[in-house]
Every structure is written in structure tokens, then in C-alpha cells.
Structure 1
């Protein structure tokens, strides 16, 4: 009988060819002995060994010099790779099921622990590309305005045809609504990345304009469903093959905000890859400078992927190159799926079961990213997705599964009060155990809360019980 191609205890051999670096990286160690992923493992170590050697060296150098935790820089690099790949390639799991490299990523830690800087480092080559394209757009816009302001006769004399208004083709966007985002995506069919430094602002604004519509938009975009927007003013927008990756940071206390408005029930949280390392802390400054070649090496990797063209079909829309899985890679994927299915069926609650199920999508996406990363590092011809990429993808999804379990535990054990902002928590703690509406108003007005806000607050049945007309009791 053939030995299985997938085993949680057998990945180290696959990566031994890369000679993983012997570094202990702050916040998450680089240690090849941790690749067997025992189920009772107390700490969740980011699997740096899934990356090619040159990327491992980038992670180690940024950790040593800039104190980037391996979890933060490793996941940030994956996000930048996702955007750089965009609509150039997709992975075919089976006939009728293809996956892009779209990621929804949340880096979670308290303030001062270097959450944002790793994302900035990873995205810098793409920011530079946007800066160059904006400079080109500015020149094209000036030329366009100069031509359209010419008298008709002068345009005819110079044989100037009707000019097309230029548009800035950019990759990254931070401040957006679905309509504005679609407008940007319309002119960059390769795909775009949404980077929100404080991710709470992203989901808090979901119902800013039309209740529930933005939530549905982001649920759909994770699955790559077409964007179809009919506008009251202007032309309609139709993007048949969208590509929108999302990443950002948040503090631990904001996690409870994420669970509001049914987001744990509708599958939204299931789609987010949480990076929430154990025992993360603020580090002392390092006296070690970042070697100059580190940024250049990362820039070269991203530029090689950005140089890949997006195939266009006869309708003018993207037609990505589809990569199949090599037979042994496909078999390892199937064996892991069986293991994951058993875990999903045995999960303690429906939320965890849903999270495990979504990881079957992410394992294919990570395999695609890792195969194309190997290509960018001159270690693959990208003709098909191999066993090495699949093994790496499995290690990544197992890491993110444990992170999701940690987040789920935090949300399950949260007090109903934790879901409210700090000002409401202060008000709640200031109220006596029993009070009348009038007594409560006297207290909350002094604390700066408006009367109508307080009366809405009293409707929270997890915090208050109305014992009789105008009289309330606190429940926690």
C-alpha cells in the first residue's frame, strides 16, 4: 500500500531542500521541527519554511533589524503576492472549480507591536508602481486637457482625432465604497488590493448607505462573483471577473465589534484569515540595520509577478491562465480534505465547522500563490501546481485554522458588554444594579451620552432587563 502524500507529521522532509534558516524569530519562531503541527501544540507558529530560501531570509532580516514578528511579515508578504498575481492565473481544483489568489487578511495585536509596518514593507513595490502610474496619468491628463481645449479648426488642422480621457490604473485603494471601488477596478482589470490600516473602519461602514448591501458585496467578492452596479447618474458598471484582496490591522479589543450585525452567522468572519500570534509583545529597538539588498530582493520578486500579462478574451475581459495540480499534489490535497472534513464534522460549534470548510478554498489559493512565488524565485516553470506548493498551503491553512479557533474562543467567551464601545462600557459600569429611566438619564447625561442613545442602549436584552414600566435591572 502506498504511503499517504498528506500527513500532518510529514511535511518537514518536503521543505528540507530549502535548508530552513536557523533563526528564532521574535513573536513566531522559524524552526523546522515545528512543521509536524501536533494537535495539542500550545503555541501557533507561523510556518516560515513554506517560502523559498530568499523569502525566508527577507523575513529573518526584517525581524532582526525592524522587529517584524514572523506572523506579521509572513502574512503581509502573502497578501502582496496575492495582489501581484491578480487575474493572471487561477488554480483548477476540479472541473468547474477554479480559485484565484484573493485573500481577506486581518492582523490582530495590541498597539505598538508592529502590526502596520510589515504590511507597508510588503506593499512598497506595489505602492511604487502606483506612484509611477500616477505620474504617467498626470502627464496624459495634461495632454488630454490641452487637446480638448483646442478650437475645433485647430484640432482638424493638426489631424487630432477624438481623444480618450485617461484614467489612473492603480492597484491599491484604502478609502472606498463599493461603487467607487468598482470604478477603479473597471480600469485595472488585473485586480486591486484594499489596504485598511484600521480594519474596524472597513466593516463598521458596511451599512453606511444601504443596510446590508455592502456586507453582501464583500461576501460576493470573496467568491469572485461579477460586479453589476446600476447607477442613478453615470454609466452602469459590469465587471465579470473581479479580483479584490483585502488586508488590514486591528487591536484585540475590536474583535468583538467584528462579531456584531450577524457577521458570525452569515459566514463573513469565516472568510477572514486572522493573524493573532501568542505572546506578542513590543520589542526593544535593534541596532542592526536592514541590509540594502533585502528590499531590492523583495522588489524583484513582486516586479516579476507584476510583469506577467493578463490574458484578455474576445470580449475584452480577463481570461486567466488556469494551472492544474500535478497528480501527486492533487492526491495530497484530497487526503488533506478528508482530514479537514473529519475535523469540520467534529467541530464544537457551527462557526468552527464553517471556518474549517472555508479553509478548503484557501488551501487552493495558497497553493497557487506559493507556486507562483516559486516561479518568481526561479524555482518553478509555473506549468502546474506541485506537491511542494500544496504541502506549504496545507501548513498555512493549519496555522490559520488554529488562529481562527483562537478568535472563535475569544468571541464565544466575550461578555455582552465587550461588544460595545468604551463610552458605553463606562456608562454601564456607572449605572446602579437597579434604576429608573430618570435616574439613569441623570447619570448618563453627566457622562456625555445623549438621551436617545441611552434609550436605544436600554434595548440591549443581554445587558438590561425591564422589570416594570420605566424600571430596569442590570444583568451583568
Structure 2
């Protein structure tokens, strides 16, 4: 079973109901109660991006959060280091992102990863091919100049006391050093150590994306090649744009005044547990910089006869990314209209109380650290959405002024990210007993057991769960959540005491409902739609009111708007 419980109904009150003495009268509490919205709010994207996310989701039969999360990373590749967002004087945020959808093996992460990022790899290849002649020429000129400098140096060595020969040698060396060989244009790196990342940033104007369909980069950060000593300085500074200066013996010093690193990774749940248990990564704030996404796996519910992503949509998507890269070839600072600034300020004021000790976004120190960057994440989303909306727009219609509707869309996405963050940090804190309880519950569901003894259960579980204390701890968790309860065990007059017996809640034995892979998305609003359409589709966020629960599917809503009665894109319970 998954670490995240995608329970579709309301979280029940185990102490309410008509009969307090009947355990079966109360629905069990979901294990972990880590509720996350399954559907990515693609309606917040420009039309071309929304259409692509929805087409990939359908064609590949994957969670929309996988396609949507990777698309946010793709938008950041050509924009990071070029576009900055000035919310107000003194508050400027870059647009690079660290995003990592989390899914188990065999969930088509790699094919989707390639589909979303391939147009950018193609642009990179084209730029390399175009730059190679100039690179070869500069490299040849430098080698020739270096050879001439060496000849002049040897001549000066032999001409003892000849100051003119020394001056000629010095001038030749300076001329050789002055020949600059441009680096190959580069968007991406993959299997790079933190030290190599610093060098790549220095060679490419501070702009780089680490993109990988696996989570091996976390092992590199943890010190795979440095005896387990984590080296996080580069990735911490490159997120915020803090200067990076590297001085090492035997190497030229490296200086990056304004780094902008993107991390676009797809990882497995085991990687999430690994980084969550790594004290240095958690303590120094690396995880607080990540947008982790925990969509439900679609394995076992996928259709096998789906058509591929239409070629027209793929071409449109590639064209828009190319236009985005060309549009932001120079540095740009986005500013806000007065309405946009007011909308953003209202969201800041709404978030701040949620960071207080004991509040929703401060239920653990790690979550509080993540939520402390939520306002900045919202600003980064504003930059990405504005830039994406400018892709392909005619030159005379371009603008660097952010409108209020873009802020509203960024706020919706940020709140969606916050719900995933809540689930992420609960999974990271999950105890082994909780994970074992999920496995035992799956065993009972598969065998459709109504009543069982501990001794009988031990014969049906895997070897690692047969330890008496470990199995009992898992059963205690299931009792606490109302899935099972202990029943009276008849005692024999002689012999060994009988094994404890438990009854299983009837809900566990019910046939599972047919769960669609994705609920129907809200219709995408055409490139941005008319102002009336946008206002209707995306109401302005303001103070929450009423119980935070989706009125359609019943799942809790972590961050809500006045008038919002369901999760973005929710079209009904499965």
C-alpha cells in the first residue's frame, strides 16, 4: 500500500455516531491521514501548457501531478536566471525551482520525463551545433597563442639578461590568456557532484538545470564520493541566488555572482524517506526548498488502448518552449500592477498566521521551514506563469507587468503545493509501525478475513513481519485507527494460552470501488481567455470561511478561498 492514504470520503469522527459501544459503527480513520489533491490544477496554466499536461496525462495514463509538476520544471529551464519577480521594492524573487514528483517504480516516470523535457534537449543540441564552429576557432587560436608563448618563454630563458626577450615572453603569455574559448551552450546536467555543479554554473552564466528521472542526485549531495560528508552549499546558495565562490588548491578560483539552479527530479518513495531521515539535508533547509509532489499511482487502473499525445499538441508545446527561450535571452525584472500587488499582499497576510506554533503549516519544524518559503514560492510561480503567458506573443503585445489574474493562478498552485507538502512531511515522519500496519491491512483485505488470531496472521505475512513485537506494534496501530479491535478469546482449562483474536471492520472487506485515474479537469481557459472568463474561472482569493472540506469529494482542503467549495478540478467522488 502507498504511504499516502488517498481516502475519498470525509475523515470520520471515531468518537461520534449512534453507538459508542459498537466498533463497527464508526468508519476507520485512514492510515496517516495524509490527504492530497490528486488532480493538478492545470486550469491555472496558459492554454497551450494546460492542453499539453492534460494530453500527457491521458496518453500516458499517469497522474496529472506528474505531468504538471515536470512542466513547471520545464518552464523554469529557459526562464531561471533571466526573469526575476519584484513583488515590491526590496522583495525580489528568482524563478528557478526545485521540483520532485514522488512515485513508485513502474509508474512511467521516465517516459513522461522525456516527453516533457525533450523539446528543451532539442534546443540545447541545436545551440551546441550552432556554437561549435566558433568554439573550435577560439580553441585553435588559443592553442596557437599558447605555443607561441611557450616559444617566447624558452627564448627568454636562454637570453640571460635580455629584458626585451622577457617582455616579449610576458606579452605572448598575456595574449594567449586573453583568447577566451566559449563554453558549449548548456541547459542540463545529470550525474554531477556538487563540486562539478559549481563549475558548470560558473561556465554557463550561473544558469543550469539538474534533470534526472531518478533520485541519485540526493546520494551525491549526501556525499557518495566524499566519504559521506554532505556538501550542500552550492545547491542551497544556487536556490536563492546567493554568490558562490570556490577556491581549491591547484585550480582556478570559480565565482558565480547570481546562480540560478533548477532541480527537476522524479524520485521513488524510498528516496523521500532517505532524505527525510538525513539530518543534514533537513537541518540545513535543503528539503524546505523542494516542491515534493505525492500523486496516487495509477498502476492497475490504466487503460491500454490510449492514443499518443497528438502531434499538433507536441509541436505547439515545443514551439512555445522555443519562443520562451528566445523571449528571455536577456535579464528581465517583472513588476506588479496595483491590483496584483494587493492580491499578493492579501495572500501573504493569510499565510502568516498559518506559520505560528501549533498552526496548520507548523505541525513540524520541517514543514514550518518549508511553509516559511511559501510566499517566495508563490512569487516564483507568478514569474513562471507570466513568462509562459508571454511565450509566442507578438513583440508589440509583450509586457513585463504582472496582472492580478496571474497572481490568483499562482496562489491556487501554491496552495495545491502546500497540500502536497503536508502529506510529504507526514510521510517523512511515518514510523515503521505505520508502514507495517499498511502491509498487514493489505494482507487482511486480500484474504478477506473477518476474524483472525495473531498466530494465524503470523503464518500469512512475510518473514520480516513475523517478529512478535513488530507484528503487535502494527496491530496496535490498526486498533488505534479503528480497522480492527480485540475480541474475547475463550480460555482453555489446560495447555498454552490461546493467541489473541481480532475482528476486522466491515469497511475493510467491502469490494473496492472503481477509481478513475483522474477526475475530469476544469476546462482550460484558452490562451488566457477573456477577462470575464478568467474572473469566473479563477475567483479572487480572500479570507477562508467555513469548514475546510471539499463539498464534492469530501476530502479536507488545506488552503481554501471564500466561495471555494471543492478542490481545483474536482468533479466528484470516485
With normalisation by structure 1, the TM-score equals 0.71
User: Could you say what secondary structure the match of 1:390 adopts?
Assistant: helix
> CA offsets, 1:229-274, max 9 Å, x none?
0121221011101110001111122221011231333322121101
**Correspondence for 1:334 among 338, 345, 356:** 345
Say whether 1:264 aligns with 2:282.
yes
Name which of structure 1's ranges 168-177 and 338-347 shifts more when overlaid on structure 2: 338-347
Alpha-carbon deviation of 1:432? Answer: 10
SS at match of 2:409: helix
Residue 223 of structure 2 aligns to a residue in which SS?
coil
2:119 maps to 125
* Counterpart residue number, 1:306: 325
- Report SS of the residue matched to 1:87: coil
Residue 411 of structure 2 corresponds to 394
Structure 1 SS opposite 2:343: helix
Given that residues 95 and 384 in structure 2 are in contact (C-alpha distance below 8 angstroms), is that contact kept between their aligned partners in structure 1? yes
The equivalences for 1:296-445 within 5 A come to: 296-311=315-330, 320-345=331-356, 346-347=359-360, 348-378=363-393, 381-415=398-432
Listed as ranges, the gaps of 5+ residues in structure 2 are: 1-5, 7-33, 150-174, 436-461, 470-574
Residue 275 in structure 1 maps to residue 293 in structure 2: yes
Q: What is the alpha-carbon distance in structure 1 between the residues aligned to residue 424 and residue 84 of structure 2?
A: 30
Match of 1:105 in 2: 99
Query: How much does 1:135 deviate?
Result: 2.6
**Aligned pairs, how many?**
376
> Deviations 1:372-398 (Å, cap 9, x if unpaired)?
111115397332111121111111111
Q: How does 1:52-71 map to 2 (within 5 A)?
A: 52-71=46-65
Distance (whole Å) between structure 2 residues aligned to residue 191 and residue 56 of structure 1: 26
Deviations 1:55-80 (A, max 9, x none): 22212222232334311111111111
- Quick one: distance in 2 between partners of 1:391 and 1:264? 31
Partner of 1:9: none
Alignment match, 2:307: 288
Q: Which runs of 4+ in 1 moved over 6 A?
A: 426-433
Give me the whole-angstrom Cα distance separating, in 2, the residues matched to 1:165 and 1:266.
37
* d(CA) in 2 for partners of 1:279, 1:236: 46
Give the TM-score normalised by structure 2: 0.60
Give the conservation status (yes or no) of the 8 Å contact 2:62–2:298: no
Provide the C-alpha distance between the structure 1 equivalents of 2:242 and 2:140, rounded to a whole number of angstroms: 40
Structure 1 residue 239 and structure 2 residue 256: aligned? yes
Is this contact kept in 2: 1:87–1:310, CA < 8 A?
Answer: no
Q: 8 Å contact 1:88–1:190 — kept in the other structure?
A: no
What is the alpha-carbon distance in structure 1 between the residues aligned to residue 428 and residue 139 of structure 2? 54
After superposition, the Cα gap between the structure-2 partners of 1:66 and 1:278, relative to the gap in structure 1 and judged at 3 Å, is closer
Given that 1:64 and 1:286 are in contact with CA atoms closer than 8 Å, whether structure 2 keeps it comes out as no
Determine helix, strand or coil for the equivalent of 1:246. strand
Q: 1:15-54 CA deviation, whole Å, 9 max, x = no partner? A: xxxxxxxxxxxx9xxxxxxxxxxxx976343111001222
2:128 and 2:463 map into 1 onto residues whose CA distance is 48
Q: Is 1:225 aligned to residue 242 of structure 2? A: yes
Instruction: Kindly indicate whether the alpha-carbon contact (under 8 Å) linking 1:372 and 1:382 is maintained by their aligned counterparts in 2.
Output: no
2:210 maps to what in 1?
A: 194
Q: Distance in 2 between matches of 1:352 and 1:270?
A: 7
1:292–1:45 Cα change, 3 Å: closer
Distance 1:416 1:189, change over 3 A: farther
Matches within 5 A, 1:17-96: 43-96=37-90
CA distance in 1, matches of 2:379, 2:287: 19
* Residues 414 and 219 of structure 1: CA distance in aligned 2, closer, same or farther (over 3 Å): farther
For residues 257-293 of structure 1, the C-alpha deviation after alignment (integer angstroms, 9 at most, x for no partner) is 0112313333221211011113543523334132211
